[in-house]
Structure 1
Amino acid sequence: MRGEVCIGSASALSFISLLLLIFAHVGQINTDTVPSQVSLVTVNMTGYARGLQGATGDPTPGLFTNDSRTALGQEAGLRNIYSWGFYKYCAYTEKPLGQCANQTFGFPFQPFDVILGDTPELYQIQTRYVLPQASAFVDSVYLADYTRAGFWLVFLGTLAAGIAFLSGLYKSTMTFMISTVFSMFGAGCLLIGASILTAVLNKAKSINNYTVADGTPLGIIVSTGSALSLIWAAFVLLFISMGPYLISCSTYRK
């Protein structure tokens, strides 16, 4: 009975870990209720019109668009909210009204490029001038490289969690050994991947405290989303599952 409890707890932990990772992966794949609520990182632009006006002294008519159907990346107007997932980003005039970019495996976090893509031509020069070039927020190469690295590690961790769970369903010493190895590998990948993403996204948050010449906040706020919390929780559960899997591997007798 104790052996069954040990095996069952390991399977439950790895399954819940896998489930959390699946939820993290579906974030921002479309604007439906569940995916739209899960994101890796969100950029709130609602205060930027005031910030740009404070920097230039001029009003900013046409800087934002109120039409959620307006094409992305066509310099047709900024949206209030931009949210990134692992496979695409979505832009919202107000949730749930928005649309998503084309899907890319391991979509890079490049907020500066996305903002410029939506900024009307009239405000392109001002935007390039106002946003602090020393901030990691505008370093698209740095952000893209490290968020891609974080994605691949999380992706490998997800695959490993799935293998650990499926292998542990068949009761034998060998399958429990496989589950132990893959839970260890997966937990390691998730730990490193989540750490990279956390560090990089925290650096991007440096834009939050930036003020323009007259002391007005720039009005761009970066915040990490629930997907990052899901990844950390999945790591903890998969790490804990290593113990029961290892015990089952060492003590199971058919």
Structure 2
Amino acid sequence: MSSPTYKLINTRNYARHLWYTCGLVMIHVGEFLTFAAVVLCVFANIGQLSNNIVTRNIRYVSVDTSGLGDALSRNGQSIGNLYASSQSSPVGQGNGLKDDYQWGLYNYCAGQESGSQRACTKRNFGFEFLPVDAILSDAPQDARQTIQNFLPASTFRDSKYLGDFSKPAMYLIFIGSCLALVAWIAGLLSHRFAFLGAAFIALLSALALGVGAALLTAIYVKAKASVNNAQYGVVVHYGNALWITWAAFAAVALSIVPYIISCCTGRDDDY
């Protein structure tokens, strides 16, 4: 074998090895990104599901009502026994307002902002963000109409609008979370067609998570802007679960590219 021919074969072998090495690196990058998205989605989904120290501190949005009583008093509408005597009393039974209301993906809890003295609603899919409904269900019966009239006639009080957008957003985030898990599992199959499938599923996951997070962000922004005023004594805070969902969206969206590269550089057999 002549020296030039040997060098050409050697160069081709090196290029082929480099090509497959690139594919292997991209596979691991894609798997890491989808795994990260799955972990983030798990955290976003478990927020407010229980009263343990982890889940109770994960929320999509919170509504601080601790200043509502003073705001009503300044407006000449003082209400006695407005707040619950115990922050751990059941919600939605007219026992008095809680200091803080925190929404997760499937329920909300109310009570102390970060402490264990709180109570939660039952969990269900497609849970809606209805802050005024939550406040009024806790308020004493004779104070509900006063509170409703006092709060601004804005997005914060528009339960139909908030419900119509928050409900599908919750479904989309759940679906996107499940698809992220499927994309990660597909990427573990180490076959070029599995990588193509993982890329497509990751795309669907990114769309679901992105649209869901965008819907929630939009209604939270509008609700916050409409009521965050010392005049009303109610403050809306964005929760960490919202940013966790956006991070999961970014991770699963970024995984699409390495999976596509893996499909192009891979072999038909397993790695």
> What secondary structure sits across from 2:255 in the alignment?
helix
Superposition pairs for residues 200-215 of structure 1, below 5 Å?
Answer: 200-210=219-229
Task: Confirm or deny: 8 A CA contact 1:164 1:183 kept in the other structure.
Answer: yes
Partner of 1:20: 40
Give the TM-score, by structure 1 length. 0.93
2:246 to 232, 236, 241: 232
Partner of 1:181: 200
2:91 to 72, 76, 90: 72
Q: How far apart, in 2, do the equivalents of 1:65 and 1:235 lie?
A: 39
Q: How far apart, in 1, do the equivalents of 2:213 and 2:250 lie?
A: 11
Superposition pairs for residues 36-51 of structure 1, below 5 Å?
Answer: 36-51=56-71
Post-superposition shift, 1:23?
0.3
Residue 218 (structure 2) pairs with residue 218 (structure 1): no
Which range moves more in the overlay, 175-184 or 151-160? 151-160
Post-superposition shift, 1:240?
0.8
Name segments (4+ residues, structure 1) moved above 6 Å: none
Could you tell me which runs of 5 or more consecutive residues in structure 2 were left unpaired when the two chains were aligned.
1-20
Residue 25 (structure 2) pairs with residue 5 (structure 1): yes
Post-superposition shift, 1:29?
0.6
Q: How far apart, in 2, do the equivalents of 1:193 and 1:71 lie?
A: 30
Q: How far apart, in 2, do the equivalents of 1:246 and 1:131 lie?
A: 52
Post-superposition shift, 1:169?
0.4
Partner of 1:194: 213
Post-superposition shift, 1:230?
0.5
- Max Rg structure: 2
Q: How far apart, in 2, do the equivalents of 1:209 and 1:187 lie?
A: 31
Post-superposition shift, 1:58?
4.5
Amino acid aligned to 1:230 = I
Post-superposition shift, 1:185?
1.1
Task: Confirm or deny: 8 A CA contact 2:88 2:111 kept in the other structure.
Answer: no
Q: How far apart, in 2, do the equivalents of 1:156 and 1:87 lie?
A: 13
Amino acid aligned to 1:243 = V
Partner of 2:156: 137
Report sequence identity in percent: 34
Partner of 1:213: none
Amino acid aligned to 1:12 = F
Could you tell me which runs of 5 or more consecutive residues in structure 1 were left unpaired when the two chains were aligned.
211-215
